[in-house]
Amino acid sequence: MKLILAMDPDDISPTEDLMQEHGLLNRILLIYEASLPSLNTKLEIIHSCASIIRTFIEDYHEKNEEKFIFSAFKAGHPLRDLVGVLKQNHEDGRKITDRIMSSKVEVVQTAIPEFLKMYRRHEALEDTVVYPAFRKLVSKEEFYQLGRQFESEEQKLDHGFGDYLKMVEQLETDV
Domain ranges of the chain: 14-174
Residue 165 to residues 2, 15, 23, 170, Cα–Cα distance (Å): 37, 18, 10, 9
The structure's pTM equals 0.92
Please choose, from the candidates 60, 99, 65, the residue with its C-alpha nearest in 3D space to the C-alpha of residue 84: 65
Mean pLDDT computed over 12-40: 97
Q: Distance between CA atoms of 51 and 101, rounded to whole angstroms?
A: 8
Q: Is residue 94 very low, low, confident or very high in pLDDT (cuts 50, 70, 90)? A: very high
Amino acid making up residue 121: R
Q: For residue range 75-89, what is the model confidence (pLDDT) as tens digits?
A: 999 999 999 999 999
Q: Does the pLDDT value for residue 127 go beyond 80?
A: yes
Q: For domain 14-174, say whether CATH 1.20.120.520 is its number.
A: yes
pLDDT at 143: 96
Mean pLDDT of 122-149: 96
